[in-house]
């Protein structure tokens, strides 16, 4: 969104999905509350809606009261707030609400996994967006016309998408800055004990980086090569060459820091990606096998069973019933 567009935002609507992540939701609203408090004015107001109204339960078990979306005539921007099992809990009623607001020209946004609901509604085709790292791979396959990025938050025309956790604090501060000014943004950040406000170039940190630290640059570069070459896996020789390492250095790096071999780590990475596809998409098992670099269904099934203790068909059956109920 352009600065002149964000400067006019005053009424925010939030639509939490069942099992939404409370920390992402409250992080967004608290920025608006603090802006009002520090300014001594009601600069912002917000509405919390759902298709039918009534309580919506978060993933932590707390309940949030909502009003029926049809009673909300309009808003300046609508955020859909996701969390756990977003594919299962996004219903046709949620899709209808989002499409109605889109037709009215309301800007749309998402928090945590809420981008799934926007994409399912056909409202992210041709857009770039942010999404929690756990869901990135599966949604890239399911919605190829949407560009899913690793950034904490993304502003793309009339779409404002954000990852989970406390990232909505940073996103909302950037969103309201054109109206309240950077001096007030700094005051809000100080109230929330934020050392600095992350900008649109900040990316999500994958758990491996958080565990090992940035000093293991060579290891991260090789793992990035693996992650970017899932469907057509690189050989160990290619990994070593592209990572500017010898075969011995490559082997020692993985053994020392991860307690495994590069080959085993690569296979496990591909199988975890396959598990995401099984649980989060309706791709056929053969298509999943191919997308994860297994050109034999038999080899894929055996490797999957060895890793997770169940066959891919058993894993898929566990998801069919709940997904079908909310289709």
For the segment 73-99, the average pLDDT, to the nearest whole number, is 92
3-state secondary structure of 153: strand
Among the three residues 191, 223, 243, which one is the final residue of a domain in this structure?
Answer: 191
Q: How far apart are CA 68 and CA 94, in angstroms?
A: 11
Tens digits of per-residue pLDDT, 30-39? 999 999 999 9
Average confidence (pLDDT) over 255-281: 87
CATH code assigned at 30:
3.40.50.880
At residue 206, the pLDDT reads 58
- Among left, alpha and beta (phi > 0; psi -120 to 50; other), residue 130 is beta
**166, part of any domain:** yes
Task: Let me know whether 34 and 183 are in one domain.
Answer: yes
- Give tens-digit pLDDT for 151-172: 889 999 999 999 988 899 999 9
CA–CA separation, 175 vs 31, rounded Å?
10
Q: How confident is the model at residue 318 (pLDDT cuts 50, 70, 90)?
A: low
113 with 9, same domain? Answer: yes
The residue range of the domain holding 9 is 3-191
Same domain, 292 and 316: yes
In terms of domains, do 232 and 301 share one?
Answer: yes
Q: Summarize the confidence of residues 217-246 as an average pLDDT.
A: 90
> Same structural domain for residues 256 and 282?
yes
Q: What is the pTM of this model?
A: 0.66
**Is the same domain home to 176 and 28?**
yes
The pLDDT confidence band at residue 262, using thresholds 50, 70 and 90, is very high
Residue 279 lies in a domain: yes
Cα end-to-end span (Å), the chain: 32
Mean pLDDT calculated for residue range 260-277 = 90
List 148's β-bridge partners, or say none. Answer: 129
Q: Return all residues near 26 (Cβ < 8 A) that are at least 6 apart.
A: none
133 falls within a domain: yes
Q: Are residues 284 and 153 in the same domain?
A: no
Per the structure, the count of domains in the chain is: 2
Does residue 221 carry a pLDDT above 70?
yes
Residue 219: give its domain's CATH number.
1.10.10.60
* Same-domain status, 187 and 211: no
Residue 80 included in any domain: yes
């Amino acid at each position: 969104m352009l600065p002149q567009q964000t400067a006019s935002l005053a009424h925010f609507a939030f639509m939490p999905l069942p099992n939404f992540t409370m920390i992402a939701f409250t992080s967004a609203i608290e920025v608006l509350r603090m802006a009002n408090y520090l300014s001594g004015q009601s600069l912002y107001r917000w509405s919390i809606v759902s298709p039918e109204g009534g309580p919506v339960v978060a993933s932590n078990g707390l309940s949030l009261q909502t009003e029926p979306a049809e009673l909300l005539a309009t808003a300046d921007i609508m955020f859909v707030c996701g969390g756990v099992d977003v594919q299962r809990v996004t219903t046709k009623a949620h899709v209808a609400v989002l499409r109605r607001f889109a037709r009215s020209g309301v800007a749309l946004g998402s928090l945590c996994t809420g981008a799934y609901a926007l994409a399912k509604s056909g409202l992210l085709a041709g857009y770039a967006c942010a999404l929690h790292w756990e869901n990135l791979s599966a949604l890239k396959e399911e919605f190829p016309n949407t560009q899913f990025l690793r950034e904490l938050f993304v502003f793309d025309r009339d779409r404002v998408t954000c990852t989970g956790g406390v990232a909505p604090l940073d996103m909302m501060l950037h969103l309201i800055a054109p109206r309240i000014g950077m001096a007030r943004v700094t005051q809000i950040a100080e109230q929330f004990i934020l050392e600095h406000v992350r900008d649109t170039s900040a990316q999500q940190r994958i758990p491996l980086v958080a565990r090992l630290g940035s000093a293991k640059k060579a290891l991260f570069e090789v793992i990035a090569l693996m992650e970017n070459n899932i469907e057509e896996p690189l050989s160990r020789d290619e990994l070593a060459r592209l990572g500017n390492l010898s075969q011995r250095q490559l082997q020692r790096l993985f053994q020392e820091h991860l307690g495994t071999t590069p080959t085993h780590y690569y296979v496990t990475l591909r199988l975890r990606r396959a598990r995401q596809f099984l649980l989060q998409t309706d791709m056929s098992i053969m298509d999943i096998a191919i997308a994860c670099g297994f050109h034999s269904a038999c080899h894929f099934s055996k490797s999957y069973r060895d890793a997770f203790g169940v066959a891919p068909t058993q894993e898929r059956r566990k998801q069919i019933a709940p997904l079908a109920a909310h289709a």
